[in-house]
Amino acid sequence: MSDELVLEMRGIRKEFPGVVANDDVSIQLRRGEVHALLGENGAGKSTLMNILYGLYRPDAGEIRLNGKPVSFASASDAIEAGIGMVHQHFMLIPVMTVAENVVLGTEPVKDGVLLDEASAERRVAEMAKTFNFAVEPGALVQDIGVGQQQRVEIMKALYRNADILILDEPTAVLTPQEAQDLFEILRTLRREGISIIFISHKLKEVLEIADRITVLRRGKTIETVPREGATEESLARAMVGREVLLRVEKQAADTGEVLLEVEDLHVTDDRGIEKVRGVSFQVRAGEIVGIAGVDGNGQTELIEALTGLRRAERGLIRVGGRELHHPSTREALDAGLGHIPEDRQRRGLVLEFSLAENIALHDYATLPDSKWGWLFPGRLVERAKRLIQEFDVRGGGPFTPAGALSGGNQQKLVAAREISRDPQALIAAQPTRGLDVGAIEYLHRRLVTERDEGRAILLVSLELDEILSLSDRILVIYEGEIVGEHGGDVSEEQIGFEMVGVAREVPA
Partner 1 sequence: MSEPKRDLVESPEEAAATGTLAARISLSQRAGGVAVPVATIVLAFLIGGLVVLATGHNPLDTYRDVFNGAGLNWFFHPTTSTQGAAAYNLSQTLLQSTTLILTGLAVAFAFRCGMFNIGGQGQYFVGLVVANWLGVSFADMSLLPHALITIVGATLAGAAWAGIAGVLKATTGAHEVISTIMLNWIAFYMASWLFGDGGPLQTSDPTRQTVPISNDVARSAQLPVIWGTHGFQGLDIGFLIAIAALVVFWALINRTTLGFEVRAVGFNPDAAAYGGINVKKNLIRAMTISGAFAGLAGALDMVGYLYHYGQLDVQVSQVGFIGIAVALLGRNTAVGTFLGAVLFGGLLYGTTQGLSSNVIQPELATNLTYIIQGLVVLFIGADLLILYVWNSRRRLRPRRAARAPVKAAA
**Site residues for partner 1, window 3-22 (CB under 8 A)?**
16, 18-21
189, 333, 429, 437: which one binds partner 1 (CB under 8 A): 333
Question: Of 120-149, which residues contact partner 1 (CB under 8 A)?
Answer: 145-146, 149
Residues near 130 by Cβ (< 8 Å), separated by ≥ 6?
Answer: 192
* CA gap 101, 104 in Å, rounded: 5
Question: Of 25-84, which residues contact partner 1 (CB under 8 A)?
Answer: 41-42, 44, 46-47, 50
Between residues 6 and 405, which has the closer beta carbon with respect to partner 1? Answer: 405
* CA gap 83, 92 in Å, rounded: 18
Residues near 312 by Cβ (< 8 Å), separated by ≥ 6?
Answer: 265, 266, 267, 276, 305, 326
Q: Quote the strand ranges of 169-229, DSSP E.
A: 195-200, 212-217, 220-226
Site string for partner 1, 376-405 (x = CB under 8 A): -x----------------xx-----x-xxx
- Give the 3-state secondary structure of residue 225: strand
57, 114, 501, 506: which one binds partner 1 (CB under 8 A): 501
Gyration radius of the chain's alpha carbons: 25
Between residues 47 and 195, which has the closer beta carbon with respect to partner 1? Answer: 47
**How near is the Cβ of 427 to partner 1 at its closest, in Å?**
12
Question: Of 411-440, which residues contact partner 1 (CB under 8 A)?
Answer: none
Q: Is 361 in the site for partner 1 (CB under 8 A)?
A: yes
Q: Is 352 in the site for partner 1 (CB under 8 A)?
A: yes
Q: Which helix or strand (DSSP H or E) is residue 229 part of?
A: none
* CA gap 260, 337 in Å, rounded: 9
> How are beta strands 60-65 and 5-16 bridged, if at all?
antiparallel
88, 106, 161, 280: which one binds partner 1 (CB under 8 A): 88
Type of residue at 12: I
Helices (H), 241-349: 299-306, 329-334
Question: Of 187-226, which residues contact partner 1 (CB under 8 A)?
Answer: 218-220
Between residues 102 and 285, which has the closer beta carbon with respect to partner 1? Answer: 102
Question: Of 301-330, which residues contact partner 1 (CB under 8 A)?
Answer: 307, 309, 328-330
Contact status, residue 434 vs residue 348, Cβ threshold 8 Å: no
**How near is the Cβ of 258 to partner 1 at its closest, in Å?**
24
Question: Of 154-173, which residues contact partner 1 (CB under 8 A)?
Answer: 173
Q: Is 469 in the site for partner 1 (CB under 8 A)?
A: no
295, 422, 452, 453: which one binds partner 1 (CB under 8 A): 295
3-state per-residue secondary structure call for 74-95? CHHHHHHCCEEEECCCCCCCCC
